[in-house]
Amino acid sequence: MLYAVVSDIHANYEALKVVLADIEARRPDRRICLGDIVGYNAAPGECIDLVKDFDIILMGNHDYAVKDQELVEKFNFHARLAIEWTLERLSPEEKQYLSGLPYVDKEEGLTFVHATPRHPDQWGYIMNIDDAMDSFNYFSTQVCFIGHTHFPVIVSDAGEIIMEKRLEFRRKSRYVVNIGSVGQPRDGDNRACYVLYDTEKRYLEYVRLPYDIEATQKRMVKAKFPHFLVNRLTEGR
């Protein structure tokens, strides 16, 4: 079974279009979105429409913020401005759709969650090796796919931090895989990022794709987004 897994689209329509075109060409069996369809960028409705037909679509914290003002108030300054702008532009139907998304799903020996398997609905972060090792206690499958930090990295249950972009998983090992971000990468590479995973071959590949960053930035400038959010797309941070 070939899986295409995306996360943290963050209303970046130009990046998502490029990723979806690449996914379509590869013809995966299953398409998964780990959440955060909205936030940070200026095309939330368009991005919701593009992922609605995915096989599994999970809720991210920015999606959840659509229905929880308390969470919005906990966001940093720039994230809060972006989600408040988003809330003013989403239709009631789009808000209802985001509010009904699940936190976690499992199939084919895989776990999918936006933030952490320990508390999928509390939006904690796996930021270091200790966090990653602790997370193995909270899922039973061989692989757990996460997003949330926008940083692509793999950690094995042996404590290995794996940065390779193509990897065959060992049959008896378990892995936490952060798949990076479609719409706002933060690893110094400004290209959109998603993951392909073949369950039969146990083979994983990170796919990086250039997209029209300037077009995304023009949308953001027109919408009067903070310069920090506009500029970080070029920097990939």
Q: Give the pLDDT confidence of 195-233 residue by residue, as tens digits.
A: 999 999 999 999 999 999 999 999 999 999 999 999 999
pLDDT for 4 equals: 98
Output DSSP code: residue 183: S
pLDDT class of 190 with cuts at 50, 70, 90: very high
Mean pLDDT of the region 66-93: 89
CB 41 within 8 A of CB 216: yes
**Residue 176's closest CA among 207, 206, 146?**
146
* CA–CA distances in Å: residue 127 to residues 148, 163, 213: 10, 15, 27
Query: How does DSSP assign 102-160, residue by residue?
Result: -SEEEETTEEEESS-SS-TTTT----SHHHHHHHGGG--SSEEEE-SS---EEEETT--
Least trusted range by pLDDT, from 7-16, 63-72, 217-226: 63-72
pLDDT for 71 equals: 82
Q: Round the average pLDDT of the chain to a whole number and report it.
A: 96
pTM above 0.85, yes or no: yes
Domain total of the chain? 1
pLDDT for 68 equals: 81
Could you tell me the CATH number of the domain that includes residue 168?
Answer: 3.60.21.10
pLDDT class of 86 with cuts at 50, 70, 90: very high
Domain encompassing residue 196: 2-235
Write the pLDDT tens digit of every residue in 165-183. Answer: 999 999 999 999 999 999 9
